[in-house]
Amino acid sequence: MMKLAVDQNNGNAKKKEDAFVIWFTGISGSGKTTLANRLKTEFDKRFIKAEVLDGDAVREFFENDLGYSREERILNIKRITFAAMLLAKNGINVIVANIAPYYEIRDFIRRKLARNYCQIYLKASIEKVMSRDVKGLYGKMMEKGCKNIVGIDDSYDIPRNSDIIIDTDQETIDGSITRIVGFLRKKRIL
């Protein structure tokens, strides 16, 4: 859809009224929060409004009323989707850092955000992520046994329609940001 919009204007589309939702998906430790915050500074530099919605921060707003079961993850993602839709509708770009692990919920997101949605898949091998273990999640898991860790004992459906795929085992953060910014500039989002 986004491609179409640009084609129709011969690549010279003016910035649209509605803003965009850029959603980083990937397993725990794949770098979603890091890249989301780095991308936010690219919006700031250009004085373009953007809000970061980080999965963990959203849980804090709600005083951690939801756990990590499939059903509860879905509820959390729906909250994010609703807020993101309203912000985008009002001209505020949204950068989401959230695992969004299931086809079911990604279908919901796409259905609700339609053409103003852009999905970035952070592809990361579980081995690499475990060796970095930024949140100490995988360490805890080794001590106490698995409990709803996406990529280990909870499923992560491999995204099918990503606008960008970042191979976080190979690409640097700077390299990834350059690629994402290039893509967003082409789409007249940045």
Residue 173 CB, shortest distance to a second copy, in Å, is 26
What is the spatial distance between Cα 181 and Cα 183, in angstroms, rounded to a whole number? 5
Query: Residues 22, 39, 87, 184: which binds a second copy (CB under 8 A)?
Result: 87
Q: Does 21 bind a second copy (CB under 8 A)?
A: no
Only one of the segments 38-46, 86-94, 114-122, 175-183 lies at the binding site for a second copy (rule: CB under 8 A); that segment is 86-94
> CA–CA distance from 19 to each of 23, 67, 119, 171, 176 (Å)?
13, 31, 14, 28, 22
C-beta of residue 27 within 8 angstroms of C-beta of residue 143: no
Q: Does 78 bind a second copy (CB under 8 A)?
A: yes
> CA–CA distance from 114 to each of 16, 111, 166 (Å)?
14, 5, 22
Sheet order of strands, 50-54 included: 50-54, 93-97, 21-25, 117-123, 164-167
Query: Residues 9, 41, 57, 61: which binds a second copy (CB under 8 A)?
Result: 61
Beta carbon nearer to a second copy, 77 or 177: 77
Q: Does 79 bind a second copy (CB under 8 A)?
A: yes
Residues that bind a second copy (CB under 8 A): 49, 51, 53, 58, 61-62, 65, 75, 78-79, 82-83, 85-87, 89-90, 92, 112
